[in-house]
Structure 1
């Protein structure tokens, strides 16, 4: 019996071939995380907003300043959970608040909390698998009415609250009432029609009768002289043949089918046109200009005398509308249909960019990423995809490379949109970390991966022109460089540093993090700085990377054990003296990254290689008899931990191959033993990876790491680094087979 499973379930029992192990782990990950694109949701911008910290802001005192004392305003939404679980929420109250989940009261503040809006408190909710119904009751007092609500760590993992009524099911956000003099006799439930609840829910999503008589552009945008707007839908031609489009326009109009202009009229009139369509899907794009009194259009499609139903081109959740619209756009702005069918960026002039919306009051369309992992930007995924792409390169497996690069490209191509969305709506619908960088975790690891994957794109590479203002805004290389510049500026000019230049964490709102130096941050900074140096040729970035390793060594090195403490507390002027496994793994791995880029003549190279050797001696001495390292390196009673074991494999293998380590034979044997240990103890026959420590805080007590920081299955902190370990071990064997050449 192994530590995590019976021996017969170990992948070692089926194969000792490294390539097969790599393929099995990589295929399992991709199979569990298919590459779906973003989803588009209806969202009413005059509803409950989220701020930059992803807190929902229910400021009903501001919305209803004349509401009577003791009146109640209700808010209603639903939240999906993949499984039964306990979720912790954070709330600040502007007055009394009562929160119900699935009909049960789960929170009511005490008399202090309910009147201290600057103080937040937490509460836990037991969620069931499936949809969970949330109803919030806010009571008006002289202190106010409302509050803010978010899940703990919602900035890292924003929660998707969805409108629960049958009328606008799947629309994003919350419904709310007018101030009510009496509490609701019955709480609303998921799937009810709004009229069944006995109250009117806001924001209103229907046009007034007089607005219905206007052209849709008029009611959405009002009169906008010298402006135009766009309508877009799709049609499925069930057979090839002649199709008829007929309708009426107010204001000049152009109609495109796919890329071809099929109708152009300066006059407002009824129209009818015939067009040949091949069987399949076709885009219909209408560009409509504002006239003196009205603007808008109607256009129906017919085949064999039957009206053909249009299909929403973005398949927007939360609506049955068939058309999407964008505007107003100045007449002087040139519009090409090719660019308008792309949805990853707002379009139009820089000072007047627009995105798609619906023909409903204040209802816009926003893209969200509903995938659990694919297409998201965070630091563990930076390491995961690094492992996947290196595996693809080593195995010459284009599918693995394409998967990793497509994940990165999904992040980069929506970057401009995310920044625009944040400015418009408070909290970006995509790339919550990238759009609001505040720590190295938010940018360094994935930014490094982004630059690493640029090798796979023809648009990037030897011909990349840094800071070329003439680059095509839609070119992939432009997106990569723009994001890289954004991250580099943050690290170089905005990140907190001690007087000696050491990167450290300052976060008064998060006391655990405040004024601390974490071993983890070496990997969150150094690989990016190295690759940015390679991309730009700017010496300051490789110098900073080298300097950080020297400085962190000064603060965290434990000379008695030749290993590193996890954290140095600046306020207390001391290190924890607890050597967390993955924290040390980040250090060793970061050395191997830096030394791969550091010029041979660099002033700090000799010192860094010396420090690397001393650390590796310390790590080598703490390997257990099965070849693994543990959650706390000095405590073999703690569980064997897969991510740190994998990082030591990487560091040792690179150290031997590149001649950085002395006594190569010891490290070669250690790597062989460690890989065998992983395959016997931590990787099963399906490619699942066990024993990966979850994301950590820190403590001066070893007990926290041993008993509070448990391991997780297939956690992204470890899957990719296991793949990298296999690749580096395979390269080491190739090197030894070639006689060390």
Structure 2
């Protein structure tokens, strides 16, 4: 295949195949393109629309506006960000006549069938511009209802959340909507418009009443909760060098305790009144916390602006709120979190009431703080990123680059630390804003790949929340994931209809590396026994004995394999088998059979290596394009097999590895560290033409970046072994 970069722009032209330099090139480009980004915190109104488990917004206007009259119109307005011009998939289920305008143009209009089947989904694609895109939904009230479920058409790939578009609520998550209107709008709202500019009243209401303001901030947020407590948190900042005294003063309703940097500094002597305290404060930011107990219907605290040089500011930017404080409550006596644990954004504060927990709010009607994953890659949990981070971790260790290791560990821990919160967020609000796949596991794709890397990361250091995530995933794979009567993992459901009742060779990677590492973590042989069994069961269904390669999928709807040997699917099989063999006890009763299977597969793949050292998208169709991720996995497995002494005839595999790495360096990696020729995420088909012609490759696809790095590390280790002592007994090393 002809790739974009000319030979002179390949990594080989720069480094002549030098593996260390090539690995640094790839890792630096990836990290530079995806820097560490924290989650984004946004205000989210509980009086708006929830997302359901399929990540679509439930815009049921009959529920929000029970007084709607037949023939009235309701408008909902939101925006979403698109990093670059792209075509996105959307889905809608209509409760009545529905129109969607995107950036001022009609993008969807329901038909008479869609209007009367609210359970029916309609899928369509919209080309979005780079930057903000404004969405306006028009609903008409009829006898069938009013509104729609609307949102992403790709639950796993694009878990969209929308942003309130008006200037008054800039940054808040969700949609705003009108009351029922007797006439259609002549002009739709759009970019840079305020709510006032539209001449309409928009809901949900964002202002407190005079009575609510007079009752105090805790009363309007939490109501009359006599005897219960709540907390307020801000940052007190000093711009003065050294230490200066600051005077804090204000009013309180109900007894209060003020704490600075984890130490109580003031306790009110009476239930309500004025307070004034002087505190020594050093330069920089300090956590200022206020604990208050509800004594009567008036319950709150207010501070006067501090003197020049001092400032109160929100402890974390919450888009959609200009408040200086965050609020947490309520808690029963004796049920409060420890003072030192309170100033944190990654903590779900537990309660004894069985309600799940407490998290932060802002001083707006029924409005909570929620984190959202908005970086393209960093902080997200999905299976391609699992193998990407595995490559970065091993590259960092092999090259002595602690910055690579720290980057990968930070990404993984950002997910695990928020796991408890994400599960609660999903239960409370319908769909989690972070960890969307981890919080809603319904397939092996959602858990096994990333979690296997997580377990490897936990060998480097403890990860907050990591063990709880590992245990939950082990429970899912072992006891919840669908299996055939013989115990083989397979897919009963699937995110699309055609996936139902199928077995994919990919799923050996989505399960067995995790089971192997969980066995290492726990010492429980049941997990490694299950991993070993899966390979032999999958062999029964998918192995093509004449060619000694694997069919991509077995379809139980037709009770036959597809008999199409997709490259990356086969790569996952061999890659995962090496992960198992590296931890499988030498005396395991299935080791001999698995070792024979490994050698059979290696022999079959060896015959299909292409002229340039790469394997093809469809392994036995040389006219299909040279595919990078399967090539990398075969090199990884061959190099490991040589080092560990698993392969019977070493010479041809040594030549295959060296030829393959040179091919990757010339064809798949350019001088900037970009990776070419990685097949995008796949469906499946009984025809090889789907894989050859429709399943195209992407630039810098995360299905392949980490695997290329892992292949490089294994080839580098093999080279060192060959240089140190030849290719026989000297190759065998301690498995790890």
**Match of residue 301, structure 2, among 292, 297, 302:** 297
Distance in 1, matches of 2:225 and 2:152, equals 41
Q: Which moved more, 1:328-337 or 1:547-556?
A: 328-337
The structural deviation recorded for 1:383 is: 0.3
Distance in 1, matches of 2:2 and 2:180, equals 62
Any conservation in 1 of the 2:635–2:660 contact (CA below 8 Å)? Answer: yes
The structural deviation recorded for 1:499 is: 1.0
Residue of structure 1 equivalent to 2:654: 668
The structural deviation recorded for 1:331 is: 2.3
The structural deviation recorded for 1:260 is: 2.2
**Match of residue 336, structure 1, among 323, 335, 338:** 338
Residue of structure 1 equivalent to 2:281: 277
Residue of structure 2 equivalent to 1:462: none
Residue of structure 1 equivalent to 2:416: 412
Distance in 2, matches of 1:434 and 1:115, equals 35
Residue of structure 2 equivalent to 1:126: 127
**How many residue pairs get matched?**
721
The C-alpha deviation readout for 1:568-610, integer Å capped at 9, x for no partner, is 1011011111111101100110111111111111111111111
The structural deviation recorded for 1:2 is: 5.9
The structural deviation recorded for 1:51 is: 0.7
Distance in 2, matches of 1:226 and 1:344, equals 27
The C-alpha deviation readout for 1:106-145, integer Å capped at 9, x for no partner, is 1111111111111111122121111111000111111111
1:368-447 maps to which residues of 2 (within 5 A)? 368-447=372-451
2:64 is aligned with 1:46: no
Distance in 2, matches of 1:277 and 1:247, equals 18
**Match of residue 246, structure 2, among 243, 247, 259:** 243
Residue of structure 2 equivalent to 1:345: 347
**Secondary structure at 2:301 match in 1:** strand
Report the aligned-residue RMSD. Answer: 1.4
Any conservation in 2 of the 1:4–1:681 contact (CA below 8 Å)? Answer: no
Residue of structure 1 equivalent to 2:683: 697
Q: 1:227 to 1:297 in 2, by over 3 A?
A: same
The structural deviation recorded for 1:190 is: 2.3
**Secondary structure at 1:716 match in 2:** coil
Any conservation in 1 of the 2:23–2:395 contact (CA below 8 Å)? Answer: yes
Any conservation in 2 of the 1:529–1:545 contact (CA below 8 Å)? Answer: yes
Residue of structure 1 equivalent to 2:315: 313
2:596 is aligned with 1:610: yes
2:627 is aligned with 1:625: no
**Secondary structure at 1:237 match in 2:** strand
The C-alpha deviation readout for 1:324-354, integer Å capped at 9, x for no partner, is 1011111212443321111112114252521
Residue of structure 2 equivalent to 1:637: 623
Any conservation in 1 of the 2:306–2:312 contact (CA below 8 Å)? Answer: no
The structural deviation recorded for 1:300 is: 2.6
Residue of structure 2 equivalent to 1:712: 698
The gaps in structure 1 that reach 5 residues or longer are 460-475
**Secondary structure at 1:302 match in 2:** coil
**Secondary structure at 1:278 match in 2:** strand
Residue of structure 1 equivalent to 2:18: 17
Residue of structure 2 equivalent to 1:264: 267
The structural deviation recorded for 1:639 is: 1.1
**Secondary structure at 1:636 match in 2:** coil
Any conservation in 2 of the 1:589–1:647 contact (CA below 8 Å)? Answer: yes
The structural deviation recorded for 1:65 is: 3.6
The C-alpha deviation readout for 1:410-452, integer Å capped at 9, x for no partner, is 1100000001111111111110000000000000001101100
The gaps in structure 2 that reach 5 residues or longer are 732-736
The structural deviation recorded for 1:738 is: 2.8
Distance in 1, matches of 2:84 and 2:544, equals 43
Distance in 1, matches of 2:484 and 2:215, equals 62
TM-score between both structures, scaled by the size of structure 2 = 0.96
**Match of residue 532, structure 1, among 510, 518, 536:** 518
Distance in 2, matches of 1:374 and 1:6, equals 31
Distance in 1, matches of 2:674 and 2:214, equals 60
2:194 is aligned with 1:193: yes
Any conservation in 1 of the 2:238–2:309 contact (CA below 8 Å)? Answer: no
The C-alpha deviation readout for 1:646-684, integer Å capped at 9, x for no partner, is 000011011111111111111111000000000011101
TM-score between both structures, scaled by the size of structure 1 = 0.95
Distance in 2, matches of 1:540 and 1:336, equals 39
Distance in 2, matches of 1:561 and 1:4, equals 32
2:597 is aligned with 1:596: no
**Secondary structure at 1:520 match in 2:** helix
**Secondary structure at 2:202 match in 1:** coil
Distance in 2, matches of 1:225 and 1:348, equals 20
Residue of structure 2 equivalent to 1:464: none
Distance in 2, matches of 1:297 and 1:516, equals 60
Moved over 4 A (4+): none
